[in-house]
Amino acid sequence: MANVAWSGIESMPSMEDDHYLEWKLLLEQRTGMILPDERRSFLTTSLGIRMREVGFRNYREYYNFVLEGQGGKIEWATLVDRLTVHETRFFRHISSVNLIRDLLLPEWMSQDEIPKTLNIWSVGCSTGEEPYTLAMVLDNFRDTDHADYYYGITASDISMASLSTGRKGIFHSRKLREVDDLTRRKYFTRVDDTHYQVKETLRKRICFSHLNVLEMDRIPFGKMHMIFCQNMLIYFDKERRIEILDNLIEHLEPGGVLILGAGEILGWKPPILEKIDFNDTLAFRRLAAVN
The least confident of 33-37, 87-91, 206-210 is 33-37
pLDDT digits (tens, 9 = 90+) for 175-212: 999 999 999 999 999 999 999 999 999 999 999 999 88
What band does 36 get if pLDDT is binned at 50, 70 and 90? Answer: confident
Indicate the pairing of strand 195-198 with strand 188-190: antiparallel
Distance CA 229, CA 259 (A): 6
pLDDT digits (tens, 9 = 90+) for 38-78: 888 888 888 888 888 888 888 888 889 989 888 888 888 77
Global pTM reads: 0.80
Whether residue 6 has pLDDT greater than 50: no
Say how far residue 26 (Cα) sits from the centre of its chain: 21
Residues 6+ apart with CB under 8 A from 202: 132, 135, 136, 139, 169, 187
Helical packing angle, 59-66 and 40-54, nearest 10° = 80
What band does 286 get if pLDDT is binned at 50, 70 and 90? Answer: very high
The reply to whether domains 17-83 and 94-286 share a CATH topology is no
pLDDT digits (tens, 9 = 90+) for 138-166: 999 999 887 888 999 999 998 888 999 99
Reduced to 3 DSSP states, what percent helix, strand and coil does the chain have, rounded to the nearest 5? 45, 20, 35
pLDDT digits (tens, 9 = 90+) for 98-121: 999 999 999 988 887 766 789 999
Backbone angles phi, psi at 94, to 5 degrees: -65, -30
Q: Give residue limits of the domains in the chain.
A: 17-83, 94-286
Residue 271 or 33, more confident: 271
* Mean pLDDT for the stretch of residues 230-243: 84
Question: What CATH number was assigned to the domain covering residues 17-83?
Answer: 1.10.155.10
pLDDT digits (tens, 9 = 90+) for 242-284: 989 999 999 999 999 999 987 778 778 889 999 998 988 899 9
- What pLDDT does 13 receive? 65
Q: H or E stretch including 244?
A: helix 238-249
CA angle 87, 92, 97 (to 5 degrees): 145
User: CA–CA distance from 74 to each of 5, 79, 155, 210 (Å)?
Assistant: 21, 9, 22, 14
- What pLDDT does 291 receive? 47
8 A C-beta contact, residue 280 and residue 256: no
- What pLDDT does 178 receive? 93
- Which of these CATH numbers, 3.40.47.10, 3.40.50.620, 3.40.50.150, 3.40.50.300, describes 94-286? 3.40.50.150
